[in-house]
Amino acid sequence: MSERADLVIRSRKVALPGGVAAASVFVRNETIESIGEYEARADTPAEVDLGEVALLPGLVDSHVHVDEPGRTEWEGFATATAAALAGGITTICDMPLNSVPVTTTVNALQAKLAAARGQCAVDVAFWGGAVPGNADQIAPLLDAGVIGFKCFLIDSGIPEFPPLDPAGLREAMRVLAAHDPAGAPMIVHAEDPGEVSDPAGPGYDAFVASRPPVAERRAIENVIRAAAATRARAHIVHLAAGECAALIGAAQATGIELSAETCPHYLYFAAEEVPAGHTEFKCCPPVRYAPNREALWRALEDGVIGGIVSDHSPCTPDLKRFAEGDFRTAWGGIASLQVALPATWTVARKRGRSLSDIARWMSAFPASLAGLDGRKGRIAPGADADLVAFDAEATFTVRATELLHKNPVSPYDGRTLTGVVRRTWLRGAEVIPDGPRHGKLLRRGGGPLDA
């Protein structure tokens, strides 16, 4: 090294792009300058030796509903980013709903930025929204700094964020591809309203039956047709139906720019395990049955599904209708930001997966989706020094009342998970959830959004 490093962190289990290895990570001027042997020495004022505690790249969660401004009682930037940091996530990407206003215009984006400034414990990027009638806002929002666009093909549950029909989806993707041929994606909540029905009763089985896998399949077929026609990059959010992996894989094999994510709750839970009346498990698409969970894991391991993100979608406890326990009327959304990493690792390690798989699924892939992979999502020279000391053998029991997101509601309450975040560095500075707010607001490419 030609100059003095600011910090060196050593671990016998560093999740590098090529696999887990003993190594030293040298940090200078907020970035990773180099990777050396575990025993390598350097002139540096600060050294941390983690020993057998693993070192991961800071996680990137590209699917987080912060809800501020407008529904800050559901969640806010201060609480969401503190929970993210406690869970080893150093960058989040905020969804364009359920805030008020929804992020479908530049003015709405500016309101979101004003609400976020000074509150963020981690870095934050922002999705724009594609809704009927706002195709003319796609180019201005991209120029203003959003990382891509989210749309629904079914009722979002929020009246101000209506769904696109097939013609609207194609038009929005045409405009997106024309303005940004480099690949800002259209990310799609893919359920077909024609295949969804009213639940036949208040229980969970009736709810699952009302949103069958064919609803996801028909919607994904529409997305594939639109992507093929427009050459826009498309992405399926929170894939829940494992049987759709073959359809996605076939499209990928033909060269269509299509990717998919799934979520910890689809990989950890199964419908058979949902207790009667426990509406904290409700989300859309629903957690399906155990064979489906296995199909999702296989698609993830085969690379058809690229990554895992939380889809942190909280609400106030009253909206979950706990007193009635009725899945027909409860708000759909699972709060899981702080426990996404250990929930995933708990199952992945039992399947023989490694920490480098976790780094690929939960850091590298979502960073790439959001256009942040030049700076985020990997332990490599030139990347931001966003790093997480992760004790992969330690266990803990989730207590919803102790989680840092706004409301104490979680389907993981009482579950024992494996993997504990011990320390976190954001751009080379050690940070804690209740400490100073060092998070930056980012545009696609990783630059500052206010620049």
Please give the torsion angle defined by the CA atoms of residues 136, 138, 192 and 276, in that order, rounded to the nearest 10 degrees: -130
Are residues 33 and 160 both part of a single domain?
Answer: no
Are residues 111 and 185 both part of a single domain?
Answer: yes
Let me know the angle formed at the C-alpha of 420 by 416 and 421, rounded to the nearest 5 degrees.
150
Residue 338, in any domain of the structure: yes
Question: What is the b/e burial string over 160-180, where b = at least 16 CB atoms within 10 angstroms of the residue's CB?
Answer: ebebbeeebbbbbbbbbbeeb
Name the token pair of 335: 């709060």
Read off the pLDDT of residues 239-269 as tens digits, 9 standing for 90 and up.
999 999 999 999 999 999 999 999 999 999 9
Cβ neighbours of residue 356 closer than 8 Å, sequence gap 6 or more: 15, 16, 17, 18, 19, 20
CA distances from 148 to 163, 315, 374, 384, 431 (A): 17, 25, 16, 22, 28
Domains held by the chain: number: 2
pLDDT attached to residue 4: 76
pLDDT attached to residue 2: 40
Are residues 190 and 228 both part of a single domain?
Answer: yes
Read off the pLDDT of residues 372-409 as tens digits, 9 standing for 90 and up.
998 999 999 999 999 999 999 999 999 999 999 999 99
Q: Any bridge partners for residue 404, and if so which? A: none
Residue 220, in any domain of the structure: yes
Are residues 94 and 39 both part of a single domain?
Answer: no
Are residues 24 and 130 both part of a single domain?
Answer: no
Are residues 203 and 245 both part of a single domain?
Answer: yes
Please give the residue range of the domain that contains residue 24.
Answer: 7-49
Low-confidence ranges of the chain (pLDDT < 70): 1-3, 181-182, 451
- CATH number, residue 286: 3.20.20.140
pTM over 0.85: yes
